Amino acid sequence: MDADHTAASPTRPRTRMSQDERRRQLLGIGLRMLVEKPIQELSIDDVAAQAGISRGLLFHYFPTKTDYYDAVVGAALRRVLRNIEPDEDVDAATALLHFVERFYAQIERRREFYLALVFGSGAISVGGEGIESHRMTVARRIVEATDVDPAMIAVVHGWVAYVEDRALLWSGAVESARAPIEDEVAHCSRALSALLAS
């Protein structure tokens, strides 16, 4: 018997997928739903219905609701990381500017998604630990791209949280009240230099 079988429905024909294809489909549905609501409010029944499978079959791919939520959050965080990466083969100062500029752009473009992702994790296992891991991953990538002393990772980690908060405040303000993005990027870059020098 095929590992992936679905009951045909009047609105959705039977679809057979490989295990990897089905997992990708389920994660994609979760990512789309995450734009509208915090992760803990995603309905497993709604996800299964959109995929055209039973709730039980969803649990074949993700053994528990928390496993599914964690996988969706992980996929979302990986997407954010890809979007804020600096260009390859740029100098350290330019890499830092890219990180800040792209972090602001990511948050401005997908503010509600980012808020749901970072601050809507509730009591699921990824919780604060997952968000710290995301910020720490960003901090490590900044250290690698800018040749900052790895011993300063805690300082960079704190700075990432500062930039995130500043970008959220900036993107939440009416456009006429926002400082120019170039000023924000320059300020954040100077702030990291000052922290590392102190």
Residue 98, judged by CB atoms within 10 A of its CB (0-12, 13-18, 19+), counts as: middle
pLDDT digits (tens, 9 = 90+) for 90-142: 999 999 999 999 999 999 988 887 877 776 544 334 444 555 678 888 999 99
Q: Which pair of structure tokens corresponds to residue 34?
A: 């995450």
The answer to which of 19-28, 34-43, 180-189 has the lowest mean pLDDT is 34-43
pLDDT value, residue 130? 56
Question: Which ranges in the chain belong to alpha helices (H)?
Answer: 19-34, 44-51, 55-61, 65-84, 92-109, 111-119, 127-146, 153-172, 181-197
What is the structure's pLDDT at 179? 96
Q: Please give the residue that has the higher pLDDT: either 122 or 82.
A: 82
Report d(CA 195, CA 78) in Å as an integer: 27
Give the residue extent of every domain in the chain: 76-197
Q: Is the pLDDT of residue 35 over 80?
A: no
Place of tokens 């995929």: 51
The stretch 51-63 carries a mean pLDDT of 92
d(CA 61, CA 19): 8
Percent of the chain predicted with pLDDT > 70 = 85
Task: Name the least confident of 23-32, 34-43, 54-63, 145-154.
Answer: 34-43
pLDDT digits (tens, 9 = 90+) for 170-198: 999 999 999 999 999 999 999 999 999 98
Percentage of residues in the chain having pLDDT higher than 90: 56
Contact 172, 111 (CB under 8 A): yes
Please spell the DSSP secondary structure of 7-23, one letter per residue: ---SSS------HHHHH
Tell me what the mean pLDDT of segment 160-179 comes to. Answer: 94
Q: What is the mean pLDDT of the chain?
A: 84
Residue 12 has pLDDT above 60, yes or no: no
The two structure tokens encoding residue 142: 């900044």
